[in-house]
Structure 1
Amino acid sequence: MSTDKRAGRKLVRGQRSTTVNERVSYGLDDAFQLFYNVKKAEGMRERTLADYKAHWRYFREWIDEKYPEVVLNDITPSIAREYYIYMASGRTKYEGVEGREIEGQALSPTTVAIRLRTLRTMFNFWSAERMLDINPVANLKPPKEDEDEIEAFTDEQLRLLLATPDTRTFAGFRDRTLYMLLADSGLRIQEALALTSEHIDIKSRCIHLSAAMNKNRKPRIVPVSADVMRLLFELMTENKAYFPEATHLFITAYGDPLTSDTVRKRLTRYGIEAGIDGDVRVSPHTFRHYFCKTYLLNGGDLFSLQRIVGHSNITTTRKYIQMNDENVRAQHAQFSPIIRLRAGKRR
């Protein structure tokens, strides 16, 4: 009898106290909700949680079309690889319906890599929780990506853009101050828009960002130039005079915190007015690219740049070493041994 009991209670991997014939099957949506709740409890950022939802929705739509009624443990490595190929190759909508077929469009390697990374995070979680027999994405590798040149403003483009806002108005002065800050500090747009007067250290000309404000969850100090600090002080003074209850540094004409969506829309309009739209991507992040590339071109080192902009990995910072042909020519003209030798003879 004891032998029969032991045989009847043999555990299957991924179960706690069920029999062989009572295998637990986790529904896809239930599994995702567990994953989502745990990540939210761990303090994951709202933007990351939103990405989890979006990427899971894309996967579920494909699964519902190709493999309806499946549960979590039904997803095999071959199914995962099929989805991977689908993302990289595109699909044909209304396939088989004559006259309605629409050829699909492949996602970029970067997008495929991001969505694959999200799925890997999910399936690794479920695997660690013993909700899976096999991790279906364990052997999937992200696609190789061409290393594109990082697009940043040129000095002339930045001058044209900074000259566009009408600084006689509050909104124009605020916008120009924001752009000056982004170009001078390399702050991310969300970091800049979250600033209050408490973050500004006028005496030491620094901005103190708390760990909660940083993408890598570490506090950091960002130095700014005297010119930009003067503009920030002027903006704080004006805010206090007209909106004493406002806490944020960058606010609307009604005293509400400025949003990144509003910044992007106004920046697009300024780019068109400045005549640089189409020549360069006019976005808040392009200021960050400008700061990083210019910092290195002017002799700054990688490690101090990494600390200023808050990169968690030096590999990310190292990408800014890339230079276009114009940068290379300018650097050669400045540091060429022969040019320096000829300059010495003229003296």
Structure 2
Amino acid sequence: MPRVIKIVKSLTWREYLARFLAEKRLNGCRETTINDYRYYIPRFFEGLTLEDWEGIQKRVNEYFSSDLAPATFNIRRAYLKAFFNYLVQQGAVPQNPITFKKRKTESKMRAVPPEILQKLLRLPDKNTFAGLRNYTLLLLTLDTGIRPKEALSLLPEHFNLEAREVTIPGGIAKTKAPRTLPLSSLTVQWLHRLLSVRHSAWHNAPVFCTWEGKPMQRNSWTKILQDYSKKLGYRITPYDLHHAFALYSLRNGMNVFVLQRILGHTDLTMTKRYLALTQEDLQKEHEKSSPLNVLGAKRIRKIS
């Protein structure tokens, strides 16, 4: 009897990626993370095949040897390492080429000057849908400290404008724990206006969607702020707005435990980083404004 040889068709990296993402969804991975995989992995594999192991190793060296910011380096590393781990499990590649450690990042938290934030709020053209959306999203972020991914996933039913609050469901919250945030009257006013111009067919569209009623990606919001930054002459990222809320809230007297709840931190470790920065600000302000600076060294000797 002739020997039966089973032929297994090898899959392309795109086919493996589709299976990988399907598995991630089954495990509860957020859609925003799925979209990040879709963004980073195809850009790495462009022009490559899984059979070209030498080419893959060369691409890894090129992809991570350029002058990358630590945060960008770490993001690329995280997504590619996870996908290569999957490929190794499937027997598609001999080993994971991402063997290097992530880079140490400095704290991104900084205090954006109030005058810069005021100028930023004047930039969106509120007579257009995109400008109205951008302005309202700026207000919401500065009013609540909501994270970019969370804000871009919000649906109309997550807002209770009569009660002046927004609920972030556990499914889109970074910590997977739901939380309800208070809203200022100004933010509520502009949310009313934004929701009033939604197309009647945008039933399942997020509040901060594109002009076509499609979900807006985090990268798109980053690009919008990059364009605004050029006009300001001051670089602002989505997370700068998140940090600005925390820093100015503490400066204005918010209790650190209240801030912890609003930001959704599971413990005070992260919140204390904001507190430490405001204390540094206090020290700098004290050095500049101490009465001793006015009295001068000679006057101090007379007093003593």
> TM-score normalized by structure 1?
0.59
Structure 1 residue runs of 5 or longer lacking an equivalent are 1-21, 90-104, 340-347
Find the residue that maps to 1:35 and give its secondary structure.
helix
Deviation of 1:233 (Å): 3.9
User: What's 1:199 paired with?
Assistant: 158
Deviation of 1:184 (Å): 0.5
Find the residue that maps to 1:159 and give its secondary structure.
helix
Alignment of 1:172-183 (within 5 A): 175-183=134-142
User: What's 2:259 paired with?
Assistant: 305
Matched letter for residue 222 of structure 1:
L
Inter-CA distance 312–134: structure 2 relative to 1 (3 Å threshold): farther
Deviation of 1:229 (Å): 2.7
Deviations 1:84-135 (A, max 9, x none): 654443xxxxxxxxxxxxxxx34333333223222332344456x5749986
Q: Are 1:287 and 2:252 counterparts?
A: no
User: What's 1:39 paired with?
Assistant: 24
Deviation of 1:182 (Å): 1.7
Find the residue that maps to 2:171 and give its secondary structure.
helix
Counterpart-to-counterpart distance in 2, 1:234 and 1:35: 41
Q: Are 1:52 and 2:16 counterparts?
A: no
1:157 pairs, out of 116, 119, 122, with 116
User: What's 1:219 paired with?
Assistant: 178
Contact between 1:243 and 1:255, CA under 8 Å: does it hold in 2?
no
Matched letter for residue 49 of structure 1:
I
Find the residue that maps to 1:212 and give its secondary structure.
coil
Equivalenced residues, count:
284
Inter-CA distance 115–190: structure 2 relative to 1 (3 Å threshold): closer
2:82 pairs, out of 109, 121, 125, with 121
Find the residue that maps to 2:101 and give its secondary structure.
coil
Contact between 1:151 and 1:280, CA under 8 Å: does it hold in 2?
no
Contact between 1:119 and 1:137, CA under 8 Å: does it hold in 2?
no
Structure 2 residue runs of 5 or longer lacking an equivalent are 1-5, 294-304
User: Among the aligned pairs, what percent are the same residue?
Assistant: 27
Find the residue that maps to 1:208 and give its secondary structure.
strand
Contact between 2:250 and 2:256, CA under 8 Å: does it hold in 1?
yes
Inter-CA distance 63–132: structure 2 relative to 1 (3 Å threshold): closer
Inter-CA distance 217–177: structure 2 relative to 1 (3 Å threshold): same
Matched letter for residue 41 of structure 1:
L
Counterpart-to-counterpart distance in 1, 2:91 and 2:209: 47
Deviation of 1:220 (Å): 1.9
Moved more, 45-54 or 200-209: 45-54
Counterpart-to-counterpart distance in 1, 2:202 and 2:46: 43
Q: CA RMSD in A?
A: 4.9
Alignment of 1:132-151 (within 5 A): 136=96, 140-151=99-110
Contact between 1:87 and 1:112, CA under 8 Å: does it hold in 2?
no
Counterpart-to-counterpart distance in 2, 1:228 and 1:121: 39
Matched letter for residue 221 of structure 1:
T
Matched letter for residue 69 of structure 2:
S
Deviations 1:198-238 (A, max 9, x none): 222235422012233334433221222233234434554xx
1:109 pairs, out of 70, 74, 91, with 70
Deviation of 1:324 (Å): 8.5
Matched letter for residue 44 of structure 1:
C
Matched letter for residue 109 of structure 2:
I
Counterpart-to-counterpart distance in 2, 1:136 and 1:174: 42
Counterpart-to-counterpart distance in 2, 1:34 and 1:166: 42
Find the residue that maps to 2:235 and give its secondary structure.
coil
Find the residue that maps to 1:291 and give its secondary structure.
helix
